[in-house]
């Protein structure tokens, strides 16, 4: 399905299954931007605002929320992240590059599985697209083994579910092929230095000269 939406120039999103290394690479990119004095802002979803906190309660299992409630919370958190004060849109208007660890593609993949595709598609239909989507591809077995050292796994962090998420992500990302958004797929099984270079290659290609 081809989806025509507004594209936000200077907005970059990292996506991938749990354990695919998006958070590590977001930090590495932030360090590189700082060194190069590139004006930027780095953020993540679920956010660290009040709605994001509620989502983390649900993901930990402490708040036993309906799957549809979780989908709605993610969409509400995203609206704050994007349009709230000092949100992505404000940062882009101020001329910064905005980079987010996860965005609506996570909702289409994860909540598409937990509550059916229709609700997350509807809740996320009006959000604009980033200029660049970096899609971290990793085999779920490898991803889960990377996560074994983490304490207190969240409700989605098990092999069976992550295998389904990996398939859902492939479908979701390819549904945006004709959207005008630049999509770069990265092999996240490589070592972090190698992935960092691949991220940089893709990111530097869209930076203003
Ligand atoms: P994650 O990036 O793994 O955060 P942390 O490293 O702090 O655990 O995100 C938490 C989980 O939230 C992850 O399993 C993906 C899931 N998620 C969704 O299910 N839908 C969404 O829209 C987003 C943004 C995340």
53 within domain boundaries = no
**Residue 170 Cα, ligand 1 centroid: separation in angstroms?**
17
* C-alpha–C-alpha distance, residues 204 and 180, integer Å: 18
**Band of the pLDDT at 147, cuts 50, 70, 90?**
confident
**Residue 185 Cα, ligand 1 centroid: separation in angstroms?**
19
24 within domain boundaries = yes
Report pLDDT for 155.
87
- Strand, coil or helix: what is 62? coil
With a 6 Å cutoff on the Cβ, whether 106 touches ligand 1 is yes
78 within domain boundaries = no
59 within domain boundaries = no
55 within domain boundaries = no
Q: CA distances (Å), 209 to each of 2, 9, 35, in order? A: 30, 14, 17
Q: Do you find a cis peptide bond into 46, omega within 30 degrees of 0? A: yes
**Band of the pLDDT at 183, cuts 50, 70, 90?**
very high
> Which of 100, 106, 121, 160 for a ligand 1 pocket mutation test, highest count of atoms within 8 Å of Cβ?
106
Query: Tens of pLDDT along 9-56?
Result: 999 999 999 999 999 999 999 999 999 999 999 999 999 999 999 999
| 18: nearest Cα among 193, 129, 195, 142 | 142
Q: Write out the H or E segment, with its range, that includes residue 8.
A: strand 7-16
Higher-pLDDT residue of 127, 4: 127
- For residue 149, the domain's CATH number is 3.40.50.300
Report pLDDT for 54.
97
Containing structural domain, residue 146: 7-43+97-204
134 within domain boundaries = yes
> Which of 17, 25, 80, 110 for a ligand 1 pocket mutation test, highest count of atoms within 8 Å of Cβ?
110
66 within domain boundaries = no
For the whole model, what pTM was predicted? 0.96
DSSP code string of 117-177: SHHHHHHTTTSPEEEEEEEEE--HHHHHHHHTTSSS--TT-SHHHHHHHHHHHHHHHHTTT
84 within domain boundaries = no
Number of domains in the chain: 1
């Amino acid at each position: 399905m081809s989806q025509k939406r507004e594209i936000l120039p200077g907005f970059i999103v990292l996506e991938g299954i749990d354990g695919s290394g998006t958070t590590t690479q977001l930090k590495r990119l932030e360090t590189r931007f700082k060194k190069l004095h590139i004006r930027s802002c780095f953020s993540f979803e679920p956010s660290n605002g009040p709605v994001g906190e509620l989502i983390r309660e649900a993901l930990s299992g402490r708040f036993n929320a309906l799957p549809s409630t979780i989908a709605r919370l993610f969409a509400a958190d995203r609206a704050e992240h994007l349009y709230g004060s000092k949100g992505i849109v404000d940062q882009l208007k101020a001329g910064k590059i905005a980079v987010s660890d996860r965005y609506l593609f996570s909702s289409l993949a994860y909540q598409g599985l937990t509550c059916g595709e229709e609700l997350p598609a509807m809740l996320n239909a009006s959000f604009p697209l980033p200029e660049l989507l970096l899609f971290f591809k990793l085999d779920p077995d490898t991803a889960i083994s990377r996560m074994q050292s983490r304490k207190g796994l969240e409700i989605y962090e098990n092999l069976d579910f992550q295998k389904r998420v990996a398939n859902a992500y492939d479908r979701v990302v390819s549904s945006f092929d004709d959207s005008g958004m630049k999509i770069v797929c990265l092999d996240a099984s490589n070592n972090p230095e190698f992935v960092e270079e691949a991220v940089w290659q893709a990111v530097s290609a869209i930076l203003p000269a």
